[in-house]
Amino acid sequence: MTTSITDLRTAEEAARGVVKAVGKAWGDNNPDGFADAYTEDATMILSGDRFFRGREVIRKVAQQQFSSAHKGTTLLQNVVDLRFVGTDTAVIITEGGVLAPGETEPAPDRAIRATWVLAKKPDQKWYIAAYQNTRNADTQLPGA
């Protein structure tokens, strides 16, 4: 685990930075920026029981989506929980979804809750090792 408040804050900022970087890459329709946030052997499970393994597969999925169904969309990703499981592993829960142009909240059929498992690699950067999302049927944030 991190050993000081400064270490913890630095690690938390870096982990949140991964979520922000993914959101920016999505908004820029940048499949490389999106995929580069993942480990080489990452897994991704999306709503609708879609399963992908590996950074290069995730890159191809992003290329396809950014040129079709998700072209021009952005992401809303509110971090509702972030915890460290060790010095090199973090778990983040987000709520949000895909925003069509002009939206500030996702339509109910696009609202999701996601679990992100991040790993800190030897280069001291955090990457997504596993990502899973599901439809968010709740009308209220957890703990609210």
The structural domains of the chain, with segments of one domain joined by +, span 5-135
46: CB partners within 8 A, 6+ apart: 52, 132, 133
Fold for 5-135, please state it. Answer: Nuclear Transport Factor 2; Chain: A, (3.10.450)
Those residues whose C-beta lies under 8 Å from the C-beta of residue 17, and which sit 6 or more positions away, are: 126
Q: What is the reported pLDDT for 111?
A: 93
pLDDT of residue 6: 83
Question: For the CA atoms of the chain, what is the radius of gyration?
Answer: 15
Q: Is the pTM of this model over 0.85?
A: yes
What is the Cα–Cα distance from 5 to 114, expressed in whole angstroms?
Answer: 27
Report the chain (144 residues): mean pLDDT per 10 consecutive residues.
75 96 98 98 93 98 96 96 95 96 92 97 96 82 55
